[in-house]
Chains A and B, each alone.
Chain A
Amino acid sequence: MQEDPNLYDYWAYEKRPKITWPNGAKIAFWVAPNIEFYELNPPENPNRKPWPQAYPAVGGYSIRDYGNRVGHERQMQLLDKYGIRGSISLSTALCDHHPEIIEMCAERDWEFFTHGVYNTRYTYGLSQEQEREMIQDSVDTIEKHVGKKPAGYLAPALSHSEHTIDLFAEAGGIYTCDLFHDDQPTPVKVRNGSRFISIPYSLEMNDTIAYVVNKIEPRRYGQIIKDNFDRLYQEGDEFGTVMCIPTHNYQVSCPHRMRAYEEALEYITGHSDVWVTTGREIADFYLENHYDQALSSIKQQQESIA
């Protein structure tokens, strides 16, 4: 084990080349609904318990099931209303369990990226071969059900190994959502040498972090989303930024939380220089137009003090 994951270089948030998003937009805005399946009785990973109590964990399991039965459709209506295509962080077994949800998303040309097979099957303890198999299974499942391989990966339940990002790059992926080190896309070093990037997927904007971990009030969640947007929009003038709202249908789509979320979406999409887009579109655009520039800028910054 090393003291640094060795995935990216230091790159100061000043004197960076400007990213200009399509149509001159200052900010790329994307919403990433996690559409997840948690198992009621999964094999227990020795490194992390799936549920805090003995089988059956009625509370934890059933509120997550609420997301699929009730919440999904609610958030979808809201995203439709504001012209937002979701980028789904998908527990790919859900293609088997709830194909109706997959069809509704596919009809809307939403993006599917992989979030592992189940959110109760962690990366911890897997051998590299096992992790490769799990990732490949998830990639193949998405391709089989929607006809297109996923471009991005968010490891299941944010559980990682030292090989996670390398393995996903080797499976043909181009971006990761697992790194929270920046407000812009950045190059990520992977062992196969492919052009691979990180796209900001904010933990701070994540509804589950806000509601379950930080236990904040719904209207405050709406306010911090707007504040986050305001600053990134302003800085987008100088740098070109990315804002992501990661959501969970069992949190944000509860009846008492919809209003605050809707107000935030209305606010953001009411601005003129916002590119409302998906993770894959951000990745493709960045790799095509700004990736090489970023590498030179990182090198330049390092050399400027040499």
Chain B
Amino acid sequence: MSLDKKFLEYPMRRYGMDHERYSWSMLSQRPKIEWPNGKKLALWVNVCLQFFPINQQGKPFKVPGGMTMPHPDLRHYTLRDYGNRVGVYRFLKAFDKYGIRPTFAMNTRLAERNPYLLHALKERGDEIACHGLHMDALHYGGQPIEDERQQIDHALTRLRELSGQDVTGWLSPARSESANTPDLLAEHGIEYFSDWVNDDMPYAFKTNSGEITAMPLSNELEDKFILMDNKHSEQSYVEQICDAHDFLLGEAEQQGGRILALNIHPWMLGQPHRISKLEQVLEYITAGEKVWSAGAANIRNAFLSQTKDA
């Protein structure tokens, strides 16, 4: 019994990373960032607005949160749709109450299907980012590049038309990528994306069409991760977000501006028994004078204006 000799060969054992996408650095060693008006913590609330088709293809995997029952899976289809009909309007009220300026990461197909919702978002003037075509249009390792190029082109072209915004941000459905995704995103005018969860601050990500920014959107702090995947209590969600806020604020005092990024789903936190938890969190975070609520593109701009290499 033995393995091929390549198993004990390490061609990428070298200084820095084992790939060419970004350079290695430790967060604590980087120059201090200052947010506008002397704020210490940027609050990026990212609302995922998602369309899960009931005729799910599941290629190459069933998207987490998608259909799991034999067709027609009315259970999951309607529960997700609830977020776009009911939950999101609870979110909007809460945002208004606490002065939150979120980013809406929207599936293009949802923007096409729910013009009323899109109109409401446009009226607010908050940033709209692209969350891919829909939740069953995954990007994945081994996906033919031409297929993916078309998928990205279609998703971005349509969302730009419909929203009237530049749409410079991207979050892949299920954060799943092919090896080409960052190149194709940059090729189509995307300036930042949020699939990689390896940092708490923005950093420069190399593509064939120049550098884009990886924006830190924690998966560990996501409502779906805490409540649905880990099955933690609603009270624990509040504790975890507030503890994260306290910790990051403390670190920001020492090391310069930090970002608290909350990725939330209206079909999850927009439920009647959970919305008060989102409100509690927002109340806690916005109570002091040290937090700047802004969309991802604005946070990125403030970051880039202070860094040379990002």
Contact = CB atoms under 8 A, between A and B. Distances in A.
A259 B247 contact: yes
Contacts of A6: none
Contact of B3 (A56, A74, A118, A125): A125
Interface stretch (B26-34, B114-122, B184-192, B265-273): B26-34
Contacts of A147: none
A62 B218 CA distance: 11
B7 A126 contact: yes
A43 B4 CA distance: 9
A63 B227 CA distance: 19
Contacts, number: 157
B140 to A, nearest CB: 7
B233 interface: yes
Interface residues of A, number: 55
A129 B231 CA distance: 45
Contacts of A37: 18
B15 A217 contact: no
Given A43-B6, A117-B10, A215-B230, A62 B240 contact: no
A40 B18 contact: yes
Interface string B15-48: 1111100001111110000000000000000000
Given A58-B196, A70-B200, A256 B176 contact: no
B280 interface: no
Given A43-B7, A217-B233, A97 B220 contact: no
B69 interface: no
Contacts of A99: 15
Contact of B244 (A62, A72, A255): A255
Interface in B151-180: 175-179
Contact of A69 (B7, B61, B198, B230): B198
Contacts of B196: 58, 62
B175 A97 contact: no
B2 interface: yes
Interface of A: 37, 39-41, 43, 45-46, 53-59, 61-66, 68-70, 72-74, 93, 96-101, 117-118, 121, 125-127, 129-130, 133-134, 137, 215, 217-219, 254-260
Q: Which 3 A-B pairs have the closest CB atoms?
A: A54-B141, A127-B2, A65-B198
